[in-house]
Amino acid sequence: MKKIIIIGGGISGLATAWLLRNKALAAGKELAITLLEKEERSGGKIKSIKADGYTCEWGPNGFLDSKPQTLDLCRAIGVENNLHRSNDNARKRFIFSGGELHQLPDGGPAFFKSRLISWPGKLRLAMEPTPFIASAPAGVDETLAAFGRRRLGQEALDKLIAPMVSGIFAGDPETMSLVSCFPRIAELEREYGGLIRAMIMLAKKKKQDSAAGKVVSSAAGPGGVLTSFREGIQYLSDALATSLGDLVETGNHVVAVEKRHSSPYRVTCEDGSDREADIVIIASPAFAAAGMLDGLDPAMTSILCQIPYASMTVICFGYSRERISRSLDGFGYLIPKKEGLNTLGTLWDSSMFENRAPEGKVLLRSMMGGACFPEYVRLSDDEVVARVRQDLAGTMGIEAAPEFVRVFRHPQAIPQYTVGHGARLQAVEELQRAHPGLILTGNSYRGIGLNDCVAAAERAADEALLQ
């Protein structure tokens, strides 16, 4: 019977263990699976904190239902009926610019009416389909900023692309790789020669295929409805851990993964205990995996250390609804860096999921830091609260002090797919060939979202079954 050790009990490790166990049972294979998590609880950055009637998400607040991976997992573990989709408010998203909140346009006519982009900026955007716009440079790993300037212009970069990058990755578009962060956009440009042309052509194809009962992807992005659970997204990781039972061992900090010639892998924990495994799946962040593999393959460790992480501070404020004068009909807003504010944006959590705050209350969740402001994670709680209050006064006119406050710090929150990320992954894969049975998974490599983690877990489970 093969022994498999999975290191890391976040959503990636939990999903990998669950999928591997069930795939092995379906295939009639006997495996001895153990998941080791260094913390006393599993779930990683997924944590739903309940206090004073509020539900605050410590990390991610859900997933989009437009991709099948997480929905399929929810069905398989029997929690599909507990899913809680965000209401229509989540479809309205805003950008703070020029002293006001602008709703992101949802179509051509709305875009031209919007005051978010100036008329010169709109004219530059309208040029995007023309042959005067330079094509993607061959063989160059282009940054998101370079792509934005080339295809859409500086103003669109500043007010649309940069806030989106900070909202998704907490990243800096000047360093992030287009093809690694948004491979679909790079693909659309290659295939159609431009984004607007791609949107028009795909809209026609979607209309034709819909009539034939088919579904195609949108050019604008993944779409879908933000989905969680009434209890918070931690419900999913808890359900996985409960289903896995004794397979999950918490409080076991792995410090080294080594192998001697043809012997099995040796997994060493911080307390000095050793375990043997035929297959080791590391579902920990790249920097943690690097530390574990230093004795096995220093070259791989060196490459994994080159995947940077952005810090993030999450701030939850609770208010009586009557203390906020403006409408909260929406998802929330992002703030372009050029506005010079302290926060990256604020989500109106209780507008998306009505049970996130007590009756008559609202919950706002602000983000601070990211790759552009790494020093913010070291600010004191008092300074963080003061800066968030200052921003909320300027963006939403909220002068009242919050009656509920929680501050969560993530010194290494989100992996950054910077230029050269694809080449780094290729180099790691080449080195892995010398170590059969060593598998890396998680959000450090090919997608940071919850759906991406589950998809990567499925690939890891399939690869383990083939060993």
- Fold match flag (117-211 vs 309-415): no
pLDDT of residue 218: 39
pLDDT of residue 197: 82
Burial class (CB in 10 A: 0-12, 13-18, 19+), 333: buried
Token pair for 154: 């500086």
Strand, coil or helix: 92: coil
Token pair for 354: 């009505």
Cα angle 121, 178, 141 (rounded to 5 degrees) comes to: 115
Report, as an integer, the average pLDDT of 241-256.
Answer: 97
Which residue would you say has higher pLDDT here, 90 or 462?
Answer: 462
Q: How many residues are recorded in the chain? A: 467
**pLDDT tens, position by position, 21-47:** 999 999 999 999 999 999 999 999 999
Greatest C-alpha distance within the chain: 69
Report, as an integer, the average pLDDT of 85-94.
Answer: 87
Report, as an integer, the average pLDDT of 118-139.
Answer: 88
Please say if the pLDDT value at position 130 is more than 90.
no
**Alpha carbon distances (Å) from 312 to 70, 166, 418, 463:** 25, 11, 17, 33
Q: How many CA atoms lie within 13 A of 150 on its CB side?
A: 17
Please say if the pLDDT value at position 82 is more than 50.
yes
- Is residue 193 very low, low, confident or very high in pLDDT (cuts 50, 70, 90)? confident
Third-level CATH fold of 2-42+237-307+418-466: FAD/NAD(P)-binding domain (3.50.50)
pLDDT of residue 213: 52
Burial class (CB in 10 A: 0-12, 13-18, 19+), 359: exposed
Q: Which residue carries 């991709």 as its tokens? A: 67
Please say if the pLDDT value at position 216 is more than 80.
no
- Is residue 217 very low, low, confident or very high in pLDDT (cuts 50, 70, 90)? very low
Report, as an integer, the average pLDDT of 143-151.
Answer: 96
**pLDDT tens, position by position, 434-459:** 999 999 999 999 999 999 999 999 99
Strand, coil or helix: 89: helix
**pLDDT tens, position by position, 158-168:** 999 999 999 99
- Dihedrals φ, ψ of 419, to 5°? -55, 135
Closest by CA position to 176, among listed 163, 160, 165, 188: 165
Please say if the pLDDT value at position 387 is more than 70.
yes
Q: How many CB atoms lie within 10 A of CB 146?
A: 18
Please say if the pLDDT value at position 210 is more than 60.
no
The amino acid at residue 384 is V
**pLDDT tens, position by position, 369-383:** 999 999 999 999 999
Assign domain 309-415 to its CATH superfamily.
Answer: Protoporphyrinogen oxidase, mitochondrial; domain 2 (3.90.660.20)
pLDDT of residue 215: 38
In eight-state DSSP terms, residue 26 is H
Token pair for 7: 């290191």
Between CA 67 and CA 164 the distance in angstroms is: 20
Third-level CATH fold of 117-211: protoporphyrinogen ix oxidase, domain 3 (1.10.3110)
Report, as an integer, the average pLDDT of 99-107.
Answer: 89
Q: Where are the domains of the chain?
A: 2-42+237-307+418-466, 117-211, 309-415
The answer to whether the beta carbons of residues 363 and 317 sit under 8 Å apart is yes
pLDDT of residue 221: 43
Between CA 246 and CA 182 the distance in angstroms is: 38
For residue 197, the Cα-to-chain-centroid distance in whole angstroms is: 28
**pLDDT tens, position by position, 283-299:** 999 999 999 999 999 99
